[in-house]
């Protein structure tokens, strides 16, 4: 199967490309700035908001894995919708146009986020739970999911939205570059690169961390389950750990305890949602690389 991956040069994109290639797919990549260092991947350069750049990339694709997007600043809500909804719409329009010309029914897989659930009360949370996004990024991702649902209803595509929880781990020595995230942030604090790491709540709440390679295999698994005219939603999460446990693991790796500041005004554990992944596991997926100790160890050794 020929699969186009948008956002293939990013932290998650590199892992998804690797897992799809390992699964025997012919992978092409649409990248904006960051190249993909994999010789057996066909490269297209362009912005997902530019139809003229997207159309050549989607021609002949049996499936698109749409990863391009960004969380960004909460102070720029319009930007979130333009990039995360507009980008998905541009790629979807190009894919359906190319497929109609070839009389084909391709698959469209979206990288969504576990943040669409907000602070859910029941754990682990299933895909049929009510979505309550708390910020523009999560709401934009949910809007992109709805777009896929309507598009699948026309019978012209098969669709899946993967609600990814906290991506972590390293691929080929490259880890998570964002120190705002728990694992790299705790390590940065332990090494003195930042003064401290801020935790919401008292540090005891357990949240999902899932290796990017497991996320890559989740997309490959969901692709096998895609059916024309259907839109399926899948949670992608790992075994989980508390912020205090991540701090302990960071100390073990660095020899120094990270300074942690607990966010004022939040007493007790902040109710971050945990993922029920039974739906994806029924298709044969497993989180094989997501042990928290491994995730911290890989991040500590990453360049």
3-state SS record for the chain: CEEEEECCCCHHHHHHHHHHHHCCCEEEEEECCCCCCCCCCEEEECCCCCHHHHHHHHCCCCEEEECCCCCCCCCCHHHHHHHHHHHHHHHHHHHHHHHHHHCCCCEEEEEEEHHHHCCCCCCCECCCCCCCCCCHHHHHHHHHHHHHHHHHHCCCCEEEEEEECEEECCECCECCCCCCCHHHHHHHHHCCCCCCEEECECCCCEECEEEHHHHHHHHHHHHHCCCCCCEEEEEECCCCEEHHHHHHHHHHHHCCCCCEEECCCCCCECCCCCECCHHHHCCCCCCCCCCHHHHHHHHHHCC
**Tens of pLDDT, residues 88-133:** 999 999 999 999 998 999 999 999 999 999 876 677 999 999 999 9
> Residue 211 forms beta bridges with which residues?
168
Rounded to an integer, what distance in angstroms lies between the CA atom of residue 70 and that of residue 81? 10
Q: Do 176 and 168 touch, CB atoms closer than 8 A?
A: yes
DSSP-derived pairing of the beta strands 206-207 and 241-242: antiparallel
Amino acid 265: pLDDT: 53
Amino acid 225: pLDDT: 93
The residue-averaged pLDDT of 165-175 equals: 95
In this model, does residue 55 exceed pLDDT 50? yes
Q: How many CB atoms lie within 10 A of CB 117?
A: 27
Average pLDDT along the chain: 93
With cut-offs at 50, 70 and 90, classify the pLDDT of residue 201.
confident
**Tens of pLDDT, residues 21-49:** 999 999 999 998 766 767 789 999 999 99
To the nearest 10 degrees (0 to 180), the angle between helices 292-301 and 243-254 is 40
Q: How many CB atoms lie within 10 A of CB 33?
A: 8
CA atoms within 13 A on the CB side of 57: 34
């Amino acid at each position: 199967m020929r699969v186009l991956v948008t956002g293939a040069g990013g932290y998650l994109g590199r892992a998804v490309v690797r897992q799809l290639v390992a699964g025997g797919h012919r992978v092409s990549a649409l990248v904006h700035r960051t190249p993909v260092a994999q010789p057996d991947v066909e490269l297209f350069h362009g912005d997902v908001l530019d139809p003229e750049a997207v159309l050549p990339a989607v021609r002949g694709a049996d499936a698109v894995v749409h990863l391009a997007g960004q969380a960004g600043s909460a102070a720029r809500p319009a930007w979130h919708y333009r990039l995360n909804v507009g980008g998905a719409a541009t790629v979807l329009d190009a894919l359906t146009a190319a497929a109609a010309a070839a009389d084909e029914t391709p698959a469209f897989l979206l990288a969504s986020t576990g943040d669409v659930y907000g602070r859910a009360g029941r754990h682990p949370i299933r895909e049929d739970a009510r979505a309550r996004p708390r910020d523009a990024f999560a709401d934009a991702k949910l809007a992109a999911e709805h777009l896929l649902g309507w598009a699948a209803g026309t019978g012209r595509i098969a669709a899946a939205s993967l609600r990814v929880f906290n991506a972590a781990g390293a691929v080929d020595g490259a880890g998570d570059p964002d120190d705002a995230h728990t694992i790299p942030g705790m390590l940065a604090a332990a090494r003195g690169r930042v003064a401290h790491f801020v935790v919401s709540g008292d540090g005891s709440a357990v949240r999902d961390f899932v290796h990017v390679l497991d996320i890559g295999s989740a997309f490959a698994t969901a692709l096998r389950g895609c059916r024309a005219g259907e839109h399926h939603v899948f949670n992608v999460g790992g075994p989980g750990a508390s912020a205090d446990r991540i701090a302990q693991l960071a100390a073990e790796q660095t020899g120094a305890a990270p300074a942690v500041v607990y966010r004022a005004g939040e007493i007790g554990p902040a109710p971050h949602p945990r993922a029920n992944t039974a739906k994806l596991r029924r298709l044969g997926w497993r989180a094989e690389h997501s042990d928290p100790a491994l995730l911290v160890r890989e991040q500590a050794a990453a360049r």
